[in-house]
Amino acid sequence: MTMDELKRQAAAQALEHVQDGMRLGLGTGSTAKHFVELLGERVKAGLKVIGVPTSEATRADAVRCGVPLTTLDEIDRLDLTVDGADEIDAALNLIKGGGGALLREKIVAAASDRMIVIADDSKWVPTLGRFPLPVEVIPFGLSATRRAIVGAFEQCGLSGELKVRSDRDGHAFVTDGGHWILDAHLGQITDVPRLAGLLNPIPGVVEHGLFIGLASMAMLAGSEGIRVFERP
């Protein structure tokens, strides 16, 4: 199987947890896109659901696939969010934000009763940090914000390159919220909750890509099929 086929397989298994009448968070990224497409097929067959997209790209996919949409201003709670991840550890802590949608993804996940993460099994790691950690920041005062972020890393015994993410044209990548992203190449994050706690209060940091205690289940597709993990 190709990597794309594995992702679609994980998305198909997550779809089995969707029931009629559910309010769904729709994730962002290549794996989540498969879920939206498969969900659209079920909607055309009569499934009644409504979704909240985590990015403008996902919104466009959902509209194309015929999935009805709403916002968190119109409903106060979601039954389930299905999203991908860039890394997953055994505690179901995640690094997310490789696609640049971490802020909306975290808002939607936090507003959900459950979150299922779907991915290929290459995303499963013993320790988070191999994938660069995205930190969404306000462009104003960037140098001061960067210094504070580096200070937080140092308090955790971490170091590594911290660079502004660029788009395809070489300009600073701009999120759907109008912010920039700093990608931190840390290698290993040995104390995920501590680092998250140090990044949260930094002025200029809008959000970071450490998702702690949000995922309730992970479905990882590999050559031997789907492995399912639930949060301890």
Catalytic residues: 105
**What residue type is assigned to position 45 of the chain?**
A
CA-based end-to-end distance of the chain: 30
**Token pair recorded at residue 203:** 């002025």
**Token pair recorded at residue 208:** 């970071």
**Segment (H or E) for 108:** helix 102-110
Enumerate residues 6+ apart whose C-beta is below 8 A from 95: 85, 86, 87, 128, 129, 131, 133, 134, 209, 210, 211
Angle in degrees, CA 118, 197, 77, rounded to 5? 50
